[in-house]
Amino acid sequence: MCGIVGYVGSKEAAPVLLEGLHRLEYRGYDSAGVALVNKGRLKITKAAVRVNELRNLVGTDAPSTIGIAHTRWATHGPATDANAHPHTDADSRIVLVHNGIVENYEDLKAQLLEAGAQFKSETDTEVLAHLVGSCYLDGISLEEAVRTALRRVEGTYGLVVMDPRKPEELVVARNGSPIVLGVGDGEMFVASDVAALVRHTQRVVFLDDGEMAVVRAGDFRTFTLDASSTTKEPTLVDASDDEYQLGTFPDFFSKELHEQPAAVDRALRGRLDEQFATVRLGGIGLDPHELRTIQRVKFLGCGTSYYAGMVGANLVEELARIPADAEPASEFRYRNPVVDPDCLYVAISQSGETLDTLAAITELKRKGGKVMGAVNVIGSAIARECGSGVFLHSGPEVSVASTKAFTNMMVSFAMLGLMLGRVRDLSVASGKRMVTGLRALPGQITEILQQSAAVEQVAAQYAGSSHMFYIGRNRCWPIAREGALKLKEISYIHAEAYQAGELKHGPLALIDETCPSVIVIPDDELLAKNISSIEQIKARGGAVIAITNTTLPEGLCDAVITVPKSEPELDPVLLNIPLQLFAYHVATKLGRDIDKPRNLAKSVTVE
């Protein structure tokens, strides 16, 4: 989605801003722009171009020690130079960049048009610029003008405003769209994502919804929309700039895919308790007695996070025998859900900023629900809103399509299931079995990654397909869905996931020699049934690619990828890795832009 970078200090702002935009490119965008101030003169450069081209357009003729910059992902109006940010009011007294959506922009625009405003773009952001300008009267400070304007705005915003005649401060506001301040030594940074500022500082301040800040080179002040001061101490982000660099990898997807052994290791570190055959998840903040009172568990998330929730529901049911399910947060928030006070709700999000998930949490809390987060980004909106939960510790995930965060979600839910199980009826022996299984995962994932070349050969054979089925059942049904999603996201091949048992109830009609099936087939109690599903597909001429941890009958499948055996509850964690490799190699064969799939964004902070 859109990205914001702001700078005020003593350095030249343009390189800082452009480098910051470059770090945010992974979020997806279709135009970009920068506003700089030199000797009181505003210089805006913006166009429907990539950041690299913008760099050439900006040039070096406007050295400025303050500036704001933006990458836009079109919502109101197409990706054109005119619609790109920054936007100004009529006389360019103020200039701003904005993430989010102004919902009442038509009403506001009508009022501003009546007052004589003229618009150069179709964006809701330009309306915001004119609105702030109209409130910026003589004797009124910029922060007051922004505050007054925002009281009339319905919708979401992450906002940075600058007055070119006062090139020493930026006014910042947040509501529903992330804004983080970076505190440097005699310089300050503003961004919509820490990725844009970690190379300069690791001391950050996350703004809350409804909060504003005035940022100057040497300090910052935070306050609410009604001007009451808030106290914010900088915290340290646990990400370094290196983690946002490709290193020797061709793209972030493969980098992050290969980082999974280390990511799982981090998620497990300090949490496994061999002595009591359980885990310690201190962040949940519930004592054993409170854990016993949980009667149900419901996982909420979007996209990949929702599928991780499905895996989590299976794990909790199996290990703790507590009824559990998962639901897309985007559905939950709109259906007036019945909120059960005895249910533990788990909000899952890699970014911690997904609006649908955040809205589901707000609805839950409003109805007295008990909600914890399973979030990767410390300090993110969902992490703060939940207040308790498990951090995924997968390290920054830059690729739009998730790999290591998904794996760490599954691992975290295995730990949650184990913890809930061990305060109930899960035996010490079963607990030990799980702890041992968890500990073995990083090494086993490394083994699977070593088969990348073999998976690549299979991918080369099937990359020309227009459709594929992904088949799984029970524990592996969610990863069949995730596998199909991964293929869709990065290769654009149509893929549909189906439960093996449902094939005969319709989809078999589509099976022929042009439609291969990827089937996830663990060595579990349903092995024989899964083999007969494969036979049904083969009988209709369909090719079968099996991802398994057992030996299948010779000649049954067209391709077989075998992973090490784990504890059955952990099968999805290992069997999912070849699905990631397969999607990756298919997408590479097709020459796709793996890290930036068309039409998709890393974190979706709009509806």
Binding-site ranges for ligand G6P (CB under 6 A): 302-305, 349-351, 354, 357, 400-402, 600-601, 603-604
> Around Cβ 119, how many Cβ atoms within 10 Å?
16
Among residues 19, 36, 59, 38, the alpha carbon closest in space to that of 170 is found at 36
Q: Can 602 be counted among the known catalytic residues? A: yes
CA–CA gap between residue 376 and residue 269 (Å, rounded) = 15
**Alpha-carbon torsion, ordered 328, 331, 335, 337, to 10 deg:** 10
Minimum CB separation of residue 300 from ligand G6P in Å reads 10
**Helix, strand, coil percent content, the chain, rounded in steps of 5:** 40, 20, 40
CA–CA gap between residue 375 and residue 332 (Å, rounded) = 18
Alpha carbon of residue 320 to chain centroid = 29
Cβ contact 601:1 at 8 Å: yes
CA–CA gap between residue 535 and residue 533 (Å, rounded) = 5
Q: How far apart are the first and last CA of the chain?
A: 12
Minimum CB separation of residue 36 from ligand G6P in Å reads 32
Catalytic option among 486, 488, 596, 602: 602
Cβ contact 200:184 at 8 Å: yes
CA–CA gap between residue 185 and residue 218 (Å, rounded) = 7
Among residues 394, 396, 392, the alpha carbon closest in space to that of 415 is found at 392
3-state secondary structure at position 288: helix
Which positions ≥6 away from 86 have C-beta within 8 Å? 33, 34, 35, 44, 46, 68, 69, 70, 95, 96, 97
CA angle, corner 46, sides to 40 and 51, nearest 5? 115
The residue (of 135 and 487) whose beta carbon lies closer to ligand G6P is 487
Angstrom CA distances, 509 to 512, 532, 537, stand at 8, 17, 10
Sign of the CA dihedral with 242 first, then 245, 250, and 252 last: positive
Q: What is the 3-state secondary structure (H, E, C) of 300-336?
A: EECCHHHHHHHHHHHHHHHHHCCCEEEEEHHHHCCCC
In the numeric block, which tokens belong to residue 184? Answer: 């440097």
Name the CA radius of gyration of the chain, rounded. Answer: 25
Residue nearest to ligand G6P (CB): 303
* Single-letter amino acid code for the residue at 300: L
Q: Can 302 be counted among the known catalytic residues? A: no
The residue (of 314 and 603) whose beta carbon lies closer to ligand G6P is 603
Catalytic option among 2, 135, 515, 557: 2
Minimum CB separation of residue 305 from ligand G6P in Å reads 4
**Positions marked active-site:** 2, 602
